[in-house]
Copies of this chain bind each other. A is one copy, B any other.
């Protein structure tokens, strides 16, 4: 068996050490919430009177979620164990740290554990009279139901939700406004991925799945959940053909429609490849006569050391969404 080759100390202690490293390197942007592995914005003054936005989930997807905490985006992020939902008490602490009197909105990725634990934290908050609302993001179109998930999985399209809600909250939106906005955004974000290799969870020590040296898998999730087809490695243009084809079927593209695009590296895929892939995506969307109004490329929602890429589209039906996407933020990683 291939030995796990990671720059870590104790495989059982990677999350606290990572969070420490992140907070110590970015103390102008985030601070640790005492007795948790959750971080909250350091700019307390500019949080005042605004609704807090809290997200989180299992670790291993860095810079998601802690890298998106800061003015204009998330108020706090809860870092669970690797690929494991954070506990309700940690989420509750993040809610309390984010509430400045106007309530807190939760952005939950659709995994059964996350949904359950965020809902328990919401109950705990409501018992302390903190108003809380939430959205469950299920943007991954690859498969219905999956390991850890009823329905569709929440993946990199969630970043569109973070960005739009964060901008609105920064501009003074109420909890009800944010709920309405989240319902407008949710059906318009969709994602699909392709993996070139599996990810190795430190405490497990071997990849969650393996692919042959010339093999890829379409539709894999960010925890290595199964996709929908394996085949031989294809050129970038062929991958784009397949993935955009799947998205086209979901959105039912019509000429002239506007889209925002995220190309997301899964952790071990160099930026060079992500830009080549984006170049092909933009060609393909131009062929479809779609207008691209926003783009983002990078390692944004990773899966540890997985090689692969995901493509997220956000159909823009209201130009104010573009303003939200472009709204200035001060985060570690957006």
Contact = CB atoms under 8 A, between A and B. Distances in A.
Interface of A: 2-3, 5-9, 14, 17-22, 24-26, 59-60, 62-63, 67, 196-197, 213-214, 233, 235-237, 239, 263, 267-280, 282, 295-299, 302, 304-305, 307, 309, 333
B295 A196 contact: no
B305 A237 contact: no
Given A2-B213, A272-B14, A9 B236 contact: yes
Given A3-B233, A268-B307, A298-B333, 17 more contacts: A2-B213, A3-B213, A5-B233, A7-B196, A8-B276, A9-B236, A9-B237, A18-B272, A18-B275, A21-B276, A21-B280, A25-B263, A25-B296, A59-B272, A268-B268, A269-B305, A270-B304
Contacts of A307: 5, 268, 305
A9 B235 contact: yes
Contacts of A302: 270-271
A283 to B, nearest CB: 9
Contact of A271 (B26, B63, B273): B63
A266 to B, nearest CB: 10
19 contacts: A3-B233, A5-B196, A6-B273, A7-B239, A9-B280, A18-B275, A18-B276, A20-B279, A21-B278, A21-B282, A25-B282, A25-B297, A62-B275, A67-B271, A270-B302, A270-B305, A271-B302, A272-B304, A305-B307
Residue among A6, A62, A271 with most chain B CB within 10 A: A271
A299 to B, nearest CB: 7
A104 B275 CA distance: 28
Nearest to A24: B282
Contacts of A269: 7, 305
A268 B25 contact: no
A276 B17 contact: yes
Contact of A22 (B63, B67, B267, B275): B275
A2 to B, nearest CB: 5
Contacts of A295: 24-26
Nearest to A269: B7
Contacts of A213: 2-3, 5
A299 B273 contact: no
A171 to B, nearest CB: 21
A307 B267 CA distance: 11
Most buried by B among A5, A8, A275: A275
A60 B235 CA distance: 19
A30 to B, nearest CB: 12
A141 to B, nearest CB: 20
Contact of A9 (B17, B59, B276): B276
Contacts of A282: 21, 24-25
A236 B26 contact: no
A272 B25 contact: no
A83 to B, nearest CB: 12
A41 B21 CA distance: 33
Contacts of A26: 295
